[in-house]
């Protein structure tokens, strides 16, 4: 069977049933567009069809990975609704574009030299007798020629003498570029327009051009004296069959024809709108960060356990209390509930909180989740295992120098350096920062300490360093019983999240779900605000139910 190669992945999709003991090496579309997984078993390889529901996801994932750049743009295609949302999010950029374009239009209008246009009109008459037939023939003759005459207006035969006669500070070619002539269809009229920066000069040039042009045409149309002389001694007098008369003399225009402020302004507004739309589209397309919990769920296929709204007061007031009615307090209560209900069969007691990169809100999530659990009466211990930038102690106003590292090097027992943060929450600060945090956190002693704490407390929350820049948390992950992955809304890129999830999966870290931090605060009633958060599916025995259903069953 011939296969079309559609990409590779290091791990099969979560629900994929790959042959036991096999390692999937690639995904293919066979001749009938069925997805096939090729897997290595020992020395050989074997193909296996991918179940239909899985195919669409595999296909979506794999096709979106075609080409590194295209892969990085995954999920960034914008429909009209998405574009309008992006526009409202990037309104400042749009306004700046609009203001810049309008400013440019105003500047062009203000700085461009005004130009005036003077117009004159000529009538081309045929020199005929009063005989009607001849008159008609003459009329047809003039009409046939008049288009050609118009093309002669801006030739050097006309402009040269005008420049010389009026002593214009320009060349015949340049003057020609400012002259336009047109002959309306089925008429014997020629309209001549001349542009100049001075209105009077424009009129003078137009009149001079008209006079010179009439003379040139009459000269051109005059037949050469080649015929035999009618009377001996008398030279024949050749006459032009047409004569040009001025029907309208040019007068100095009162208003300039350029610049046109209203037209320029309209062009500026239109250009600004197009520029704004283009820039917003470009930024949105190049921005691979995650904006919604749905997008995060689709990317990671992990349960979204919480969405913490952006709160401008968070840096000043990092702690929220259970009694608080802010949206952030509510979000942490919901995170606590989702976590309590999740994995009821095998409830994790040691929960590590981490994220891909620095500053996503790991510490903020750890301390508030721990506080919220303690306030709900759960015996909780918060451990600061971020041995790079420990912040837990300072957040609670506790002492940092005695804590986890003091216990790890055997100078104290956990209970000796445990501190109380109120509401029954116990805090094990980081202790002194060691030179070898990665080794310390992955040590057997660390595992012992965590399990001792898990024997004492119902839940141990572990704040950690970010996953991607340092190896500390990857070493710690297998020691925890579950991991919460914090993702900063509209900031963390898809690649960073994907890499973090893959790194955790590689070391066997059990990811409980994601916390979407600094999410755009939903409008309206704060209680209804997070109703649309996709509920994590929870396994109870062999059934899968949502936590809210479970709450209803109780
Ligand atoms: N929901 C939020 N709304 C607004 N600001 C927040 C929110 N969560 C966290 N912050 C702010 O973001 C900054 C980083 O938060 P935090 O220290 O918790 O991140 P971190 O992931 O622990 O950082 P690090 O990687 O340095 O340890 C802090 O100033 C914090 O106040
Ligand atoms: Mg931190």
Digit-coded pLDDT (tens) for 360-411: 999 999 999 999 999 999 999 999 999 999 999 999 999 999 999 999 999 9
Ligand 1 contacts CB of residue 308 (under 6 A)? yes
Q: How far is the CA of 366 from the centre of ligand 1 (A)?
A: 10
pLDDT score at 479: 96
Distance of CA 302 from the midpoint of ligand 2 (Å): 22
Residue 534 DSSP label? P
Q: What residues form DSSP beta bridges with 120?
A: 192
Q: Which helix (H) or strand (E) segment is 69 a member of?
A: helix 68-72
Residue 147: closest CA among 194, 173, 193, 186: 186
**pLDDT reported for residue 132:** 72
Nearest CA to ligand 1 atom 14: 359
Give pLDDT, residue 245. Answer: 93
The closest ligand to the CA of 318 turns out to be 1
pLDDT of amino acid 475: 95
| Whole-number CA gyration radius for the chain | 42
Q: What is the DSSP string of 137-174?
A: HHHHHHHHHHHHHHHHTTSHHHHHHHHHHHT-SS-HHH
Q: What is the CATH number of domain 116-221+239-248?
A: 3.30.70.1130
Which pLDDT does position 70 carry in this prediction? Answer: 43
Instruction: Please give the pLDDT value at position 426.
Output: 97
**Residue bearing the CA closest to ligand 1, atom 31:** 315
Residues of the chain with CATH 3.40.50.300: 293-553
Percentage of residues of the chain with pLDDT beyond 70: 76
Considering the chain, what is the average pLDDT of its residues? 82
- Tell me the H-state helices in 42-154: 52-64, 68-72, 80-89, 91-111, 132-152
User: Does residue 150 have its Cβ closer than 6 Å to ligand 1?
Assistant: no
- With the most atoms of ligand 1 within 8 angstroms of its CB, the residue from 334, 359, 517 to mutate is 359
Degrees (nearest 5) of the Cα angle 250, 256, 258? 120
What is the widest separation between alpha-carbon atoms in the chain?
Answer: 142
| Sign for the pseudo-dihedral over CA of 28, 31, 34, 40 | negative
Residue 497 host element (H or E): helix 494-506
For residue 78, the model assigns a pLDDT of: 64
Ligand 1 binding pocket mutation candidate from 314, 319, 334, 466 (most atoms within 8 A of CB): 314
Domain with CATH 3.30.70.1130 in the chain: 116-221+239-248
Closest residue CA from atom 11 of ligand 1: 315
In the numeric block, the tokens 């119902």 are attached to: 458
For residue 358 and ligand 1, the question of a CB distance below 6 A is answered with yes
Tell me the sheet residues that pair with 427.
382, 419
Topology of the domain covering 293-553 = Rossmann fold (3.40.50)
**21: CB partners within 8 A, 6+ apart:** 41
The predicted pLDDT at position 516 comes to: 97
Cα separation, 128 vs 221, whole angstroms:
14
Please say whether the beta carbons of 484 and 504 come within 8 A. no
Ligand 1 near 355 CB (within 6 A): yes
What pLDDT does 128 receive? 65
Positions of the chain with pLDDT lower than 50, given as ranges = 1-76, 525-554
Give the model's pLDDT for residue 478. 95
**pLDDT on residue 331:** 94
pLDDT in tens, 524-549: 544 444 434 444 443 333 333 333 33
Cβ contact 310:510 at 8 Å: no
């Amino acid at each position: 069977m011939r296969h079309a190669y559609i990409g590779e992945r290091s791990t099969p999709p979560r629900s994929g049933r790959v042959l036991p003991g096999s390692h999937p090496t690639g995904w293919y579309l066979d001749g009938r567009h069925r997805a096939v997984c090729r897997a290595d078993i020992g020395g050989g390889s074997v193909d296996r069809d991918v179940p239909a529901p899985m195919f669409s996801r595999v296909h979506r994932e794999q096709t979106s990975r075609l080409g590194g750049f295209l892969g990085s743009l995954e999920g960034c295609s914008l429909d009209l609704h998405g574009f309008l949302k992006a526009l409202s999010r990037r309104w400042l950029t749009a306004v700046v574009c609009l203001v810049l374009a309008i400013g440019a239009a105003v500047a062009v209008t203000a700085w461009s030299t005004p130009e005036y246009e003077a117009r004159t009109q000529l009538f081309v008459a045929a020199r005929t007798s009063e005989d009607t037939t001849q008159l008609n023939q003459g009329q047809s003759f003039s009409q046939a020629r008049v288009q050609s005459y118009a093309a002669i207006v801006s030739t050097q035969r006309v402009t040269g003498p005008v420049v010389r006669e009026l002593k214009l500070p320009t060349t015949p070619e340049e003057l020609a570029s400012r002259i336009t002539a047109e002959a309306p269809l089925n008429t014997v009229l020629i309209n001549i327009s001349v542009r100049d920066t001075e209105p009077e000069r424009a009129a003078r040039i137009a009149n001079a051009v008209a006079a010179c042009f009439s003379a040139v045409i009459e000269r051109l149309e005059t037949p050469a004296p080649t015929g035999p002389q009618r009377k001996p001694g008398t030279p024949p007098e050749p006459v032009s069959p047409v004569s040009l008369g001025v029907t309208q003399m040019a007068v100095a225009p009162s208003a300039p024809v350029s610049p046109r402020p209203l037209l320029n302004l309209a062009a500026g507004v239109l250009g600004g709108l197009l520029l704004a739309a283009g820039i917003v589209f470009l930024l949105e397309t190049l921005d691979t960060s995650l904006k919604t919990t749905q997008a995060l769920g689709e990317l990671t296929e992990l349960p979204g356990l919480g969405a913490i709204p952006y709160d401008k007061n968070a840096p000043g007031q990092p702690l929220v209390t259970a009694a608080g009615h802010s949206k952030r307090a509510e979000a942490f209560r919901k995170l606590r509930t989702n976590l309590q209900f999740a994995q009821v069969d095998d409830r994790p007691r040691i929960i590590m909180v981490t994220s891909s990169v620095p500053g996503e809100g790991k510490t903020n999530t750890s301390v508030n989740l721990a506080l919220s659990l303690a306030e709900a009466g759960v015996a909780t211990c918060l451990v600061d295992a971020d041995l790079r930038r420990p912040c837990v102690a300072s957040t609670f106003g506790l002492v940092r120098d005695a804590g986890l590292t003091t216990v790890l090097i055997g100078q104290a027992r956990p209970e000796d350096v445990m501190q109380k943060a109120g509401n029954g929450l116990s805090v094990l600060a980081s202790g002194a920062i060691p030179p070898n945090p990665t080794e310390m956190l992955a040590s057997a002693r660390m595992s012992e300490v965590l399990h001792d704490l898990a024997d004492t407390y119902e839940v141990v929350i572990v704040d950690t360093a970010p996953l991607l820049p340092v190896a500390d948390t990857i070493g710690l992950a297998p020691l925890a019983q579950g991991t919460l992955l914090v993702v900063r809304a509209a900031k963390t890129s898809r690649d960073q999240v994907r890499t973090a999830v893959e790194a955790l999966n590689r070391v066997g870290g059990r990811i409980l779900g994601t916390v979407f931090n600094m999410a755009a605060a939903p409008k309206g009633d704060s209680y209804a605000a997070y109703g649309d958060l996709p509920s994590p599916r929870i396994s109870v025995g062999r059934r899968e139910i949502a936590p809210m259903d479970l709450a209803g069953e109780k």
